[in-house]
Amino acid sequence: MSTAEKTVAVAKAVPAEMALVTKEGSTTIADTVVQKIAGLAAREVNGVYDLGGGAGRALSAIRERIPGASASVSHGVSVEVGEKQAAIDLQVLVEYGVSIVDLARSVRRNVISAIEQMTGLEVVEVNIYVTDVHLPSDDDAVPASDRVQ
């Protein structure tokens, strides 16, 4: 089954009562909500070490050292949310040795599923930009899964 077919299957699985625009009114979902869902869903996939580009990850590491501050789960995630559809862009740092093709497929599947199930929005695309590969010798970095609370 192709990604597009899976997307259609997931969209059909969304109950009618979750429709965002009904005769009783409409539901608007903020971009930040979709960003957080996408960020958390992407991080759940084995092989994703972190999200974001190099500079953003450095700022996140600094923010982590400030008492009371926390890393943003939407770091490395850009979204465009319309009335019924959403498009997602992810910047991903992958673990060395992981098949990037398989990882991208798994991330897309997980992100699409999470967003469509939680929001009722149709995800029309998930673009993945691999920013770096985490090497086992990169011990000074802390993985996103350990930082996100």
- Sign of the torsion formed by the C-alpha atoms of 117, 119, 121 and 123: negative
Average pLDDT over residues 90-109: 97
Alpha-carbon gap, residue 149 to 128, rounded angstroms: 24
pLDDT at 65: 58
For domain 3-144, the CATH superfamily is: Cation efflux protein, cytoplasmic domain (3.30.70.1350)
Write out the two tokens for 122: 């149709």
Centroid of chain to Cα 31: 12
| Range from 18-27, 29-38, 71-80, 139-148 that averages highest in pLDDT | 29-38
pTM of the model: 0.71
Q: In this predicted model, what pLDDT tens digit does every residue of 8-52 receive, in sequence order?
A: 444 444 444 456 778 999 888 999 999 999 999 999 999 999 999
Return the C-alpha torsion angle 139, 142, 146, 149, nearest 10.
170
